[in-house]
Structure 1
Amino acid sequence: MSKTQEEIDLAYENGRFIPGAQAYADGWEAASVAFRARVGGEYDVSYGAHPREAYDLIAPDTISKGLFVFVHGGYWISRHKDDWTCYGEGAHQAGWTIAHLGYPLAPEVRISDIADSIARGIAAVAAKVDGPIVLAGHSAGGHLVARMAMPGVLPEDVLARVQHVLSISPVSDLRPLLELTMNENLRLDPEEAERESPALAPAPQTPVSVIVGAQERPVFLDQARWLAEAWDAPHIVLPGRHHFDVIDDLRDAQSPMLKTAFGH
């Protein structure tokens, strides 16, 4: 029996399957406001012509160990960098300069345009901070940071500095999204879906860890596995975590996730 459009769309729906989903979003936003109020930084610095092409850069109190860049999710169609500042807390505690990138959203732009924006944003912050670079992204952001690991996306001198990529709950193969109602906004066609899918690309030289919560939707478990298998990358399944709390370890400098990324 063929699936209804609603059933196809529900496979990629997260919030409706997480009790108290809105409370998680409210918590991210409140913690991020508090974090920005507590620490000084360079906020809303433009890196491009679009108003959303802006970054926040927050240095530690000590000599910086390197640059930690976080790219947020929201299916490329929603959310804002300001909602996620708190997810740089762990890296900041560990002595890294943290950067949060904003980017234009669909349907105004395509996913390939968003990847171009992220590459330019990373190059901009990398020019301001010396040392190694760690990239972390969640959901659509997990897709985008995986794209950055692929040759020819970042400038070669910037990619050479990337010591680890944390691709958290990524969408790694975009072809299933062609069937979703969401694609009315994403405007993916088969060619772009294939070109922008990390799981369909050769494994990069850059170390990548693929992380997912054990309680996530089946398609996200699949998407993470596909990338880990395609790239022969570490595949970390966090017990008891779902799509909205799988990134909580980024707030803890002592978490195994960050220790792995920082080479501890």
Structure 2
Amino acid sequence: MIVDWDDAYANGPHIEGADDYPGIWQKRAKAFRDELGARARLDIAYGEGERQRLDLFLPAGTTAGLAMFVHGGYWKAFDKSTWSHLARGAVESGWAVAMPSYTLAPEARIAGITEEIARALGVASEMVAGPVCLAGHSAGGHLVSRMLCRNAPLGETLRARIGNVVSISGLHDLRPLLRLEMNRILGLDDAEAVMESPALQYPAEGARLTCWVGSEERPEFLRQNDLLANIWTGLGAETSAVHALGKHHFDVIADLEDANSALTRLLTGERN
């Protein structure tokens, strides 16, 4: 039985050197943008809001398709500039990678952020032809999973282009968050928690989802990971659940930098 719900969803206090990670991420992100030069197209508007901007990172040769990475931060922290380096693996595999920022809570509700991600995906998909794959971390894992829900705010043509979706350490049932102190910022109520929980929605036809989590993550993140894969399998989706050995919440995403990692190859559809 969980007594301290805030602790159950807290990651930093349980990761050695947690305070160092944001600075490391920001340095690696800037170095990657500088390395790409003109192939890093920054601050493309997908809406009128201040944070409704995305970066698009282009491969050197022919583009295989569009990948989009959505960052985490409990819908209330970070922006696209912290995560640019995570595009490296897909870019070196020939994919264009879009990374959007989005309006943060409490200025936006989670339902509104879902709509923003759908708009960002729509704009990016008009710029890059071919198949689409999605990955997101933590709250971003929730957001990319929402794009696979039957009630996602996407047109049928775009939805048909989406192949692999990887929810990394994703939050798929938002009802427990109603118990957390952070809900003073998120502003979730019962109705929105249900509507915005992928585990409580139907997957779109042909949905392919991998729920990927570090084996050393908090028990609630392990449960949230396996929950969605389990439920959606029973609703006809093609799903799998992966526990990445030895990874915690802050380093589980690092393999996206490596074109040859199992995580990147899964996202881009490489099987050999």
> TM-score if structure 2 supplies the norm length?
0.94
Which residue does 2:259 correspond to in 1?
Answer: 253
Q: 8 Å contact 1:228–1:234 — kept in the other structure?
A: yes
Which residue does 1:180 correspond to in 2?
Answer: 180
**Aligned residue type for 1:192:** E
Which residue does 2:229 correspond to in 1?
Answer: 228
1:239 to 232, 245, 249: 245
Q: 1:218 to 1:155 in 2, by over 3 A?
A: same
* TM-superposed deviation, 1:262: 2.1
**Aligned residue type for 2:229:** A
Separation of aligned partners in 1, 2:45 and 2:159: 21
Question: 76-85 or 145-154: which moved more?
Answer: 145-154
User: 1:49-78: per-residue Cα shift (whole Å, max 9, x none)?
Assistant: 111000001111101000010000000000
Query: Where do 4+ consecutive residues of structure 1 move more than 4 Å?
Result: none
**Aligned residue type for 1:216:** E
The 5 A counterparts of 1:36-51 are 36-39=33-36, 40=38, 41-51=40-50
**Aligned residue type for 2:181:** T
**Aligned residue type for 2:269:** G
* TM-superposed deviation, 1:203: 3.1
Separation of aligned partners in 2, 1:179 and 1:231: 25
**Aligned residue type for 2:73:** G
Find out whether 1:30 has 2:27 as its counterpart. Answer: yes
SS in structure 2 of the partner of residue 43 of structure 1: strand
* TM-superposed deviation, 1:2: 8.6
Q: 8 Å contact 1:203–1:230 — kept in the other structure?
A: no
Q: 8 Å contact 2:53–2:101 — kept in the other structure?
A: yes
1:11 to 8, 24, 27: 8
Separation of aligned partners in 1, 2:77 and 2:268: 29
Which residue does 1:167 correspond to in 2?
Answer: 167
* TM-superposed deviation, 1:202: 2.1
Instruction: Give the unaligned 5+ runs of structure 2.
Output: 234-238
SS in structure 1 of the partner of residue 25 of structure 2: helix
Q: 8 Å contact 1:136–1:168 — kept in the other structure?
A: yes
Find out whether 1:71 has 2:65 as its counterpart. Answer: no
**Aligned residue type for 1:263:** G
* TM-superposed deviation, 1:23: 1.6
Share of identical aligned residues, percent? 44
The 5 A counterparts of 1:40-119 are 40=38, 41-119=40-118
Separation of aligned partners in 1, 2:70 and 2:157: 20
**Aligned residue type for 1:230:** I
Q: 8 Å contact 2:141–2:170 — kept in the other structure?
A: yes
User: 1:91-140: per-residue Cα shift (whole Å, max 9, x none)?
Assistant: 01101111101100000010000000000000000001000011000000
**Aligned residue type for 2:203:** A
SS in structure 2 of the partner of residue 87 of structure 1: helix
Find out whether 1:215 has 2:192 as its counterpart. Answer: no
**Aligned residue type for 1:98:** V
Q: 1:180 to 1:94 in 2, by over 3 A?
A: same
> TM-score if structure 1 supplies the norm length?
0.96
User: 1:22-53: per-residue Cα shift (whole Å, max 9, x none)?
Assistant: 22221111100100111122101111111100
RMSD: 1.2
SS in structure 2 of the partner of residue 234 of structure 1: strand
Separation of aligned partners in 2, 1:163 and 1:29: 29
* TM-superposed deviation, 1:261: 2.3
SS in structure 2 of the partner of residue 150 of structure 1: coil
Separation of aligned partners in 2, 1:42 and 1:257: 25
Q: 8 Å contact 1:172–1:198 — kept in the other structure?
A: yes
Instruction: Give the unaligned 5+ runs of structure 1.
Output: none
**Aligned residue type for 1:239:** L
Q: 8 Å contact 1:165–1:208 — kept in the other structure?
A: yes
**Aligned residue type for 1:251:** E
Separation of aligned partners in 2, 1:167 and 1:173: 13
Question: 182-191 or 22-31: which moved more?
Answer: 22-31
The total of aligned residue pairs comes to 261
